[in-house]
């Protein structure tokens, strides 16, 4: 295995000079000729830096964790892609982990940090995560960024959830629907509350009353969407359109409407917040509101890098690009 000493010998410099030349240390007083000679020697010998030793010297791993409720969930693909892109630009590696209701993301985050496996954690809490657990993690002072949720004392990266709900309502009203229902997330979810606020404000702007019996707060999963749709359709007085607060719940809602024999979109139009690739292939294809999940991932890594560097907690809202409607068959008559 080629060592740094071998590179220094080939370039005719000391080991310390070779180290500074290869690390790109801007404070090192090295001539450009010397830098090029060292890099040429490293390339000729096939030298690869020992990142483990470098991490020990700096007390850093250059690894950050992204913990999501389900790594197989297509909804997290853009978030992960954005986080990885930003990490690469900063010389970091992203470790992807799962934190569901059996092995909570909070517990996994705490273990990774305590064992020194990562420098910091980005955590997308599972729907229904106990806010007290998140608060305890934030209070520990560890470099943690909460994604999609807001916890006092912790850095948080949020989308403009209210704006996404407004876009959904505007689309449904534009196609002539006036009896709108909401399939929302759990009451403990701050993103669900923001989406409900946007839904209500958009209805009020059009002079449409918010029917409390048409607002559900079950959750974001497919089975939650099924249950919520079942409640909405288990009456003769039915809505003619539904805003679903999460695309995964939207799949369940569509399936339940089909099971009950309700024609979508003829009798019931359905639009969901967020977009994922399966939405274009559901039956019918699900109208979605695209949100800036890629930008959210990049911002999460940037915020975490700042926390690792000693910065204080901050709440960042990603509003650009703005949410846009992707009209598909579930709202097209």
Tokens standing for 319? 């509003």
pLDDT of residue 167: 98
In a domain, 329, yes or no: no
**In this structure, are residues 270 and 257 in contact, taking their beta carbons and an 8 Å threshold?**
yes
- Tell me if 17 sits within 8 A of 36, measured CB to CB: no
pLDDT given for residue 199 in this prediction: 98
pTM score: 0.79
Residue 97 lies in a domain: yes
- pLDDT of 55 reads 46
Residue 271 belongs to some domain of the structure? yes
Residues forming a β-bridge with 94: 64
- pLDDT, residue 153, reads 79
pLDDT confidence of residue 52 = 45
Domain that holds residue 138: 60-159+293-318
207 shares a domain with 281 = yes
Quick one: 167 and 154 in the same domain?
no
* In a shared domain, residues 85 and 227: no
Residues 170 and 266 in one domain: yes
Per-residue pLDDT of the chain (333 residues; tens, 9 = 90+): 678 888 999 999 988 888 878 876 555 678 888 888 999 999 899 887 654 445 444 467 899 999 998 888 888 999 999 999 999 999 999 999 887 664 578 888 888 888 888 999 999 988 767 777 777 887 878 899 999 888 877 889 999 999 999 999 999 999 999 999 999 999 988 899 999 999 999 999 999 999 999 999 999 999 999 999 999 999 889 999 999 999 999 999 999 999 999 999 999 999 999 999 999 999 999 999 999 999 999 999 999 999 998 888 899 999 999 999 999 999 997
Q: Contact 92/305 with Cβ under 8 angstroms?
A: yes
- pLDDT number for residue 32: 85
Same domain, 155 and 207: no
Return the pLDDT at 5: 85
- 183 vs 47: CA distance, rounded Å: 57
User: Is position 328 within any domain?
Assistant: no
Q: Report CA dihedral (248, 251, 253, 257) to the nearest 10 degrees.
A: 180
- Indicate if 24 and 67 belong to the same structural domain: no
Considering the domain architecture, whether residues 299 and 217 belong to the same structural domain is answered as no
């Amino acid at each position: 295995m080629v060592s740094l000493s071998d590179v220094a010998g080939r370039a005719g410099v000391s080991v310390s000079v070779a180290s500074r030349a290869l690390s790109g240390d801007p404070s090192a007083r090295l001539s450009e000729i010397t830098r090029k000679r060292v890099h040429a020697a490293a390339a000729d010998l096939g030298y690869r830096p020992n990142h483990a030793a470098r991490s020990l010297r700096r007390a850093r791993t250059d690894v950050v964790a992204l913990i999501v409720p389900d790594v197989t969930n297509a909804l997290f693909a853009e978030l992960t892609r954005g986080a990885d892109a930003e990490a690469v630009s900063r010389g970091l590696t992203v470790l992807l982990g799962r934190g569901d209701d059996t092995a909570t993301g909070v517990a996994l985050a705490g273990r990774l940090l305590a064992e020194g496996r990562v420098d910091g954690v980005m955590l997308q809490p599972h729907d229904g995560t106990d806010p007290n657990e998140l608060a305890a993690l934030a209070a520990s002072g560890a470099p943690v960024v909460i994604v999609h949720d807001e916890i006092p004392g912790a850095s948080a990266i949020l989308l403009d959830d209210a704006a996404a709900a407004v876009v959904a309502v505007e689309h449904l009203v534009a196609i002539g629907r006036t009896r709108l229902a909401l399939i929302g997330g759990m009451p403990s979810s701050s993103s669900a509350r923001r989406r409900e606020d946007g839904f209500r404000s958009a209805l009020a702007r059009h002079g449409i009353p918010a029917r409390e019996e048409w607002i559900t707060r079950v959750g974001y999963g497919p089975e939650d969407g099924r249950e919520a749709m079942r409640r909405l359709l288990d009456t003769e007085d039915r809505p003619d359109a539904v805003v679903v607060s999460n695309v995964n719940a939207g799949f369940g809602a569509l399936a339940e409407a089909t099971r009950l024999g309700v024609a979508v979109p003829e009798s019931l139009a359905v639009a969901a917040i967020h977009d994922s690739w399966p939405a274009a292939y559901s039956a019918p294809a699900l109208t979605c509101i695209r949100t800036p999940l890629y930008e959210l991932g990049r911002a999460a890594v940037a915020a975490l890098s700042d926390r690792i560097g000693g910065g204080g907690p901050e709440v960042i809202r990603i509003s650009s690009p703005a949410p846009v409607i992707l009209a598909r068959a579930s709202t097209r008559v």
